[in-house]
């Protein structure tokens, strides 16, 4: 049982590593070579590539949620900075990934697109709790939480669906950071 869990994690992490190079276009042969594991062993853990991609999505989103929780528990952070860290949560191991175009390139895997959208749509309770705290403290103006969520989610989906960032030579993480800054600081110049 433990070996199966270890193989599962090894395959997921190997998939993420090869994804960094090839995007969703990697093959199971590429993955087997990357992690020095037989395809037979891999297929004992995952039935096909889409199942690997689904596990990768869940793994990354679970890691993001852990980063959000760390930010929430850091009582030394002012509310604005805590909110910035929750919105911009990205595990350090994946900060170099270019996630742009992932959904557009994964059209062969509609289940993966569906899962990513489900994960983007869920788990907003933590974010809203910090936003609510900021409004109560007077550091944020009152906003409609649904509108805020729609703006943030739509921007992320656009980043994930489009090759536009690459065409304009914009790094995914820089764009993501800019999005968070725009949502928190707006466009006005602070004096």
> What tens digit of pLDDT does each residue of 42-70 get?
999 999 999 999 999 899 999 999 999 99
Phi, psi angles (nearest 5°) of residue 141 = -80, 155
Rounded mean pLDDT of 154-181?
A: 84
Position 172 confidence tier, pLDDT thresholds 50, 70, 90: confident
CATH (residue range 53-185) = 1.10.357.10
Distance (Å, whole) CA 12 – CA 1: 17
pLDDT of the residue at 100: 62
E strands, 79-176, are none
CATH 1.10.357.10 residue ranges for the chain: 53-185
CATH 1.10.10.60 residue ranges for the chain: 1-47
Do residues 82 and 128 lie in contact, with contact meaning Cβ atoms separated by under 8 Å? Answer: no
Please give the CATH topology (third level) of the domain spanning 1-47.
Arc Repressor Mutant, subunit A (1.10.10)
What integer best gives the mean pLDDT of the chain?
Answer: 87
**What is the reported pTM?**
0.84
pLDDT of the residue at 71: 92
The CA–CA distances, whole Å, from 19 to 23, 106, 124 equal: 4, 12, 27
Q: Which residue has better confidence, 101 or 44?
A: 44
């Amino acid at each position: 049982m433990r070996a199966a869990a270890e193989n599962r994690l090894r395959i997921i992490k190997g998939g993420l590593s090869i994804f960094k190079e090839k995007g969703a276009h990697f093959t199971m042969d590429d993955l087997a070579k990357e992690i020095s594991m037989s395809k037979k062993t891999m297929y004992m853990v995952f039935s096909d590539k889409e199942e690997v991609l689904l596990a990768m999505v869940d793994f990354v989103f679970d890691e993001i949620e852990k980063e959000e929780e760390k930010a929430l528990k850091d009582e030394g952070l002012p509310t604005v900075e805590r909110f910035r860290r929750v919105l911009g949560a990205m595990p350090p191991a994946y900060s170099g990934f270019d996630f742009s175009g992932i959904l557009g390139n994964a059209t062969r895997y509609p289940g993966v697109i569906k899962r990513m959208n489900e994960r983007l749509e869920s788990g907003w309770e933590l974010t809203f709790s910090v936003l609510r705290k900021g409004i109560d403290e007077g550091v944020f103006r009152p906003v409609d939480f649904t509108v805020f969520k729609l703006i943030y989610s739509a921007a992320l989906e656009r980043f994930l669906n489009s090759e536009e960032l690459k065409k304009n030579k914009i790094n995914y993480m820089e764009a993501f950071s800019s999005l968070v800054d725009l949502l928190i600081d707006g466009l006005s110049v602070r004096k």
